[in-house]
Amino acid sequence: MGEISLRRRYDRTVGTDVYEVKLGDEFLMSSLFPVAEIELARLGLARTPGTGLDVIVGGLGLGYTAQAALEDRRIAALTVVEYSDAVIDWHERDLIPDTAGLAADDRVRLVQADFFAAAMSEGGFDAERPGRLYDAVLLDIDHTPRHVLHSPHAGFYTVEGLRALAAHLRPGGCFAMWSDDPPEDEFMAALAEVFTDVDAERIWFDNPYTGGESSNSVYLATKA
């Protein structure tokens, strides 16, 4: 998919160091705008019932979604599926101050793997326990269901791909997903064919560069 990099720079607009992830020349995420990544975990887990939760996070990035998930005391196991060894290494070396210590949490397992290949396989996310079921899947990898980082990902956002993912969720489990764009009707319709209680929330946050507000979206769906 290209070279992935973590950079730190001092931003005069906000008067602090900013950490950014880039894939080639494309910006993936910034420590200036973690609000929706955090809300992805909070909203997804808010509709996930039970205790002793076993949760998947798709995409590690700067670690905000995983860290926010760990704030829920019901979490017993958190598996973070990340494609890039380099990103896992950043966290094992605690290079990102806001999420330092994430990799050392005894509930966390950082797995280098292709989330989409695992989601659409019968074996699922755990090679040692094929068919293992999870209480929630929190996904933040592609920009949007239409704007993907790698063309093979596109099949996941279809009814067939979503059904394959749902097979790895327990009944009542939640699928939640971050998107850079406002909710898309076509993807909402695909979710509604597979899941129940389908919703999407716009997450607004202050943007110091524009002087106004910007937004991301979080899709939410429950397995019947």
Question: What is the rounded distance in angstroms from the CA atom of residue 8 to the CA atom of residue 189?
Answer: 40
Q: Does residue 6 fall inside a structural domain?
A: no
Type of residue found at 180: D
Residues of the chain with pLDDT under 70: none
Neighbouring C-beta atoms of residue 205, cutoff 10 Å: 14
Rounded CA separation 205/178 (Å) = 14
Task: Give the domain CATH number at 211.
Answer: 3.40.50.150
What confidence tens digit (pLDDT) does each residue in 132-156 have?
A: 999 999 999 999 999 999 999 999 9
Q: Total structural domains in the chain?
A: 1
- Please report how many Cα atoms fall inside a 13 Å half-sphere around the Cα of residue 125, on the Cβ side: 30
pLDDT the model gives residue 38:
98
Domain-located, residue 106: yes
Contact 82, 110 (CB under 8 A): yes
Are the C-beta atoms of 8 and 30 separated by less than 8 Å?
A: no
Residue 168 lies in a domain: yes
Fill in the amino acid letter for 161: G
Q: In this structure, are strands 53-58 and 75-82 parallel, antiparallel, or unpaired? A: parallel
In a domain, 116, yes or no: yes
Q: At 183, which helix (H) or strand (E)?
A: none
Whether residue 26 is contained in a domain is answered as no
What range defines the domain where residue 76 resides?
A: 33-222
Structure token pair of residue 81: 């599926």
- Other beta carbons within 10 Å of 171: 9
